[in-house]
Chain A
Amino acid sequence: MLTLEKLRVQQGDFDLSADFSLQEGARTAVLGPSGAGKSTLLGMIAGFVQTMSGRVLFRGDDITHATPGARPIAMLFQDNNLFPHLDVTQNVGLGVTPDLRLSADQKAKVFGALDRVGLAEFATRKPAALSGGQQSRVALARILVQDRPLILLDEPFAALGPALKAEMLDLVSELALENGATLMMVSHDPADARRITDQTILVADGVAHGPQPTATLLDNPPPALQAYLG
């Protein structure tokens, strides 16, 4: 279980607090107007945003002050999810060990993941030689080998077309299920939330509200969400 305990961050005018728990294996969307703090919420959990007070607990362990790499988290950002100077295998290999000195078993694991996302024959390509969808698949293969219990997505597929985005969301959902991971994703699009998540966190007016069933929330949106959805 991931627990955010009276977590609070403040930067100038910006203020965000969160106090809720997520069940393990849950798939959660994070919705809300831009600038409300959706990315900041993920940043607090992943260790990129310094919190002012409160604690982050995972399976009872306090990870509030752990470095991002030491947390049980695999994360994809809006952009720069791959290193352009490393080839596909190396980019995925970083998820196994950051110093890239892979044993035979670890290499097999990397190729297994590439195979799983359908990129086995692109192993030696650089990201620039791949399409946008293929680049997303490389990042997902890395998530797979990282094998962390918590997957955070900060709109990594926003630049893809609708069909490709849906395909990636389905793939990520399958991968999370295979790894038994808890999934949390920021989105602008209520359709994404409906597609793969069962619960939704609404971030608005400085508060990240506790999760509610996605369908219920979207069918009867509270005023803040209503204003955003239009």
Chain B
Amino acid sequence: MAGRPVTIKAWPGAMAATVVAVIVLGTLLAVALRAEQGRGLSPSDWAAIRFTVWQAILSTLFSVALAIPVARALARRHFFGRRILVALLGAPFILPVVVAVLGLLAVFGRKGVLNGGLAWLGLPEVQIYGLHGVVLAHVFFNLPLATRLILQGWQTVPSERFRLAAQLGFGPRDIWRIIERPMLARAVPLASAVIFAICLSSFAVALTLGGGPKATTVELAIYQAFRFDFDLGRAALLSCVQMVLVGSAAFVALRVSTKEGFGRGLDRPIARWDGAGLASISLDSVSIVMASLFLLGPLSMVVWDGLAGVLAMPSQVWAAAGISILVSLGSTVLLILLAVPIAVAAAGRHQWFEVVGLLGIAASPLVIGTGLFLIIYPIADPFALAFPVTALVNAVMALPFGLRVLVGPVRDVVQSYGPLSASLGLTGWSWLRVVLVPRIRGPLGFAAGLTAALSMGDLGVIALFADPEHATLPLQMYRLMGSYQMQAASGAGLLLLVLSFGAFWICDKGGRSDAHT
């Protein structure tokens, strides 16, 4: 029955979408108006643009190229711990960047495990700061993402196809040519586009591992223009550049993207009859072991060093942790208030609502932050509003992910139970309370958990706005690292890790516990 969407009211979604559009586009406008005409880009601005693009290309290349063998191994092998490893591949998404950087420093840094080993062997030490470090950190974050996206591609190949291949006596080369290469030709561009866009807007990694004239991203340059020179005109100009860069990359990513979002259900290996040869067994084993070491090494160092550092933490760390929890809560509430109405409107006849939510992908948090600063500056003290602004921007940045998780389930509820709800007169609040929320509890908890964790670990806008007296936990941790109090920073890192993963776990669990069928 082609019916009218009777239970669906679009106006709350329209309001939420307007709020998002005003935040993203309004700040852009504020920034663009401020950018000085005819000033042009300085040589150091051009250097920042070149570095941003170059490191993003390298990061994408390494992440995707290394992900292919790992994804293939995960697709065709059964082994103990496979499910845990696949689940672990989702962890970097909610892992705070500063925490990961701390872990990477513990492994690859000057006093790290790797250099310790090299010195013992009498070899020269490796340097983590600069381009290497930025690319290394990006690969750490995006190799798992690329692996998940490509593994998803492998799982879309029907297992019957591999059965047929086995029956026809295909060798590895035939399987590659006839099944795997065409699949990768679809999956790799998607993964590359997404990762390229993510790496373009990298701020916290560049802040901690980059810096200097040779390793400054555009986002970092915006921050420096803002914080160090208080040159709002230059910050605005760079924001416009960043907007064009990320906007075009996000546009490309959306064009090649499919509806599949987070690749749930990747924990089932496909029955395969190939790959019994010694060469492919060794390749798969090496891929899995190396990937596990690369992911788990830095994480276990964070835990190990952190346990030792907990006692060395100054009291500001606890205060900062309290602030971070409040900011994270605020973001999560805001996300739900924005995402649920937009998802409901998008589930009806107004599918374009979803696109408004995706604005958050094209926007850069530092650009929004700069714009908000310019808007707030004449009327209030922006530094006094640092935490609410951070909570708001984090909610907007998490919105694309939240919508991706929610729109499908909301649409299912509307399609399956719309007529029944309408015939019973279940509308408005009653419908929300009795039908929608209980039926989308799982995805809602998942989306809330992602937001809570992302916001807890965010080191972005807060770096622009915070005054020296107050900080969120990631910022406090960054300050400790900056003043070489590594032990205290390690303790704070462990605390942040626990808070981020804990926030995700509580929300996700809350959505699933006592789950209604």
User: Does B517 count as interface, using CB distance less than 8 angstroms?
Assistant: yes
Distance in Å: Cβ of A90 to nearest Cβ of chain B: 8
User: Does B416 count as interface, using CB distance less than 8 angstroms?
Assistant: yes
User: Does A162 count as interface, using CB distance less than 8 angstroms?
Assistant: no
User: Does B4 count as interface, using CB distance less than 8 angstroms?
Assistant: yes
Cα distance A49–B517 when bound, in Å? 30
* 0 or 1 for each of B164-182: is its CB under 8 Å from A? (1 = yes): 0000000000000000000
Q: Are B439 and A67 in contact (CB under 8 A)?
A: no
Q: Are B438 and A85 in contact (CB under 8 A)?
A: yes
Set B417, B423, B429, B439: member contacting A68, Cβ < 8 A: B423
* 0 or 1 for each of B385-423: is its CB under 8 Å from A? (1 = yes): 000000000000000000000000000000011011011
Cα distance A70–B3 when bound, in Å? 16
User: Does B435 count as interface, using CB distance less than 8 angstroms?
Assistant: yes
From residue 307 to 335 of chain B, which have CB atoms closer than 8 A to chain A?
none
Cα distance A40–B433 when bound, in Å? 30
User: Does B379 count as interface, using CB distance less than 8 angstroms?
Assistant: no
Q: Are A99 and B516 in contact (CB under 8 A)?
A: no
Give every chain B residue within 8 A of A100 (Cβ-Cβ). 430, 434
Distance in Å: Cβ of A204 to nearest Cβ of chain B: 19
Cα distance A128–B4 when bound, in Å? 29
Set A43, A80, A94: member contacting B424, Cβ < 8 A: A94
Q: Are B417 and A80 in contact (CB under 8 A)?
A: yes
Set A50, A69, A128: member contacting B423, Cβ < 8 A: A69
Q: Are A77 and B425 in contact (CB under 8 A)?
A: no
Q: Are B517 and A128 in contact (CB under 8 A)?
A: yes
Q: A43-B1, A49-B2, A126-B516 are in contact. Are A83 and B417 (CB under 8 A)?
A: yes
Total number of residue pairs linking A and B with CB closer than 8 Å? 82
Set A50, A67, A75, A80: member contacting B416, Cβ < 8 A: A80
Distance in Å: Cβ of B354 to nearest Cβ of chain A: 24
Give every chain A residue within 8 A of B1 (Cβ-Cβ). 39-40, 43, 48-49
- Which B residue sits closest to A39, measured CB to CB? B1
Q: Are B419 and A48 in contact (CB under 8 A)?
A: yes
Q: Are B4 and A50 in contact (CB under 8 A)?
A: yes
- Which B residue sits closest to A74, measured CB to CB? B423
User: Does A73 count as interface, using CB distance less than 8 angstroms?
Assistant: yes
Distance in Å: Cβ of B65 to nearest Cβ of chain A: 45
Cα distance A77–B1 when bound, in Å? 11
User: Does B427 count as interface, using CB distance less than 8 angstroms?
Assistant: yes
Q: Are B435 and A68 in contact (CB under 8 A)?
A: no
Give every chain B residue within 8 A of A77 (Cβ-Cβ). 419-420
From residue 245 to 275 of chain B, which have CB atoms closer than 8 A to chain A?
none
User: Does B47 count as interface, using CB distance less than 8 angstroms?
Assistant: no
Q: A49-B1, A85-B438, A98-B434 are in contact. Are A69 and B417 (CB under 8 A)?
A: no
Give every chain A residue within 8 A of B426 (Cβ-Cβ). 69, 94, 98
Q: Are B6 and A68 in contact (CB under 8 A)?
A: yes
Cα distance A90–B430 when bound, in Å? 13
Cα distance A48–B6 when bound, in Å? 8
**Most-contacted residue by chain B among A68, A75, A77, A80 (CB, 10 A):** A68
Set A40, A48, A81, A86: member contacting B434, Cβ < 8 A: A86
Q: A43-B1, A48-B3, A69-B423 are in contact. Are A84 and B434 (CB under 8 A)?
A: no
Give every chain A residue within 8 A of B417 (Cβ-Cβ). 80, 83
Cα distance A106–B439 when bound, in Å? 25
Give every chain B residue within 8 A of A220 (Cβ-Cβ). none
Cα distance A47–B423 when bound, in Å? 9
- Which B residue sits closest to A148, measured CB to CB? B423
Give every chain B residue within 8 A of A49 (Cβ-Cβ). 1-3
- Which A residue sits closest to B431, measured CB to CB? A98
From residue 140 to 165 of chain A, which have CB atoms closer than 8 A to chain B?
146
* 0 or 1 for each of A45-88: is its CB under 8 Å from B? (1 = yes): 01111100000000000000001111001110100110111100
User: Does A95 count as interface, using CB distance less than 8 angstroms?
Assistant: yes
Give every chain A residue within 8 A of B419 (Cβ-Cβ). 48, 68, 75, 77, 80
Distance in Å: Cβ of B322 to nearest Cβ of chain A: 36
Cα distance A81–B433 when bound, in Å? 18
Cα distance A86–B417 when bound, in Å? 13
From residue 130 to 154 of chain B, which have CB atoms closer than 8 A to chain A?
none
User: Does A103 count as interface, using CB distance less than 8 angstroms?
Assistant: no
Distance in Å: Cβ of B418 to nearest Cβ of chain A: 9
Q: Are A81 and B420 in contact (CB under 8 A)?
A: yes
Distance in Å: Cβ of A55 to nearest Cβ of chain B: 17
From residue 476 to 517 of chain B, which have CB atoms closer than 8 A to chain A?
516-517
Q: Are A48 and B420 in contact (CB under 8 A)?
A: no
Cα distance A214–B517 when bound, in Å? 42
Cα distance A34–B439 when bound, in Å? 32
User: Does A11 count as interface, using CB distance less than 8 angstroms?
Assistant: yes
Give every chain A residue within 8 A of B2 (Cβ-Cβ). 11, 49
Cα distance A73–B425 when bound, in Å? 11
Cα distance A146–B423 when bound, in Å? 11
Q: Are A84 and B423 in contact (CB under 8 A)?
A: no
Distance in Å: Cβ of B462 to nearest Cβ of chain A: 39
A to B CB contacts below 8 Å, 9 in the list: A67-B427, A68-B423, A70-B425, A75-B423, A80-B420, A84-B516, A98-B434, A99-B433, A128-B517
Closest 6 CB pairs of A and B: A69-B425, A85-B516, A48-B3, A68-B422, A98-B426, A99-B430
- 15 extra interchain contacts, Cβ-Cβ under 8 A, other than A74-B423, A83-B417? A47-B422, A50-B4, A68-B419, A68-B422, A69-B6, A69-B423, A69-B426, A85-B438, A86-B434, A98-B424, A98-B425, A99-B433, A99-B434, A126-B516, A146-B424
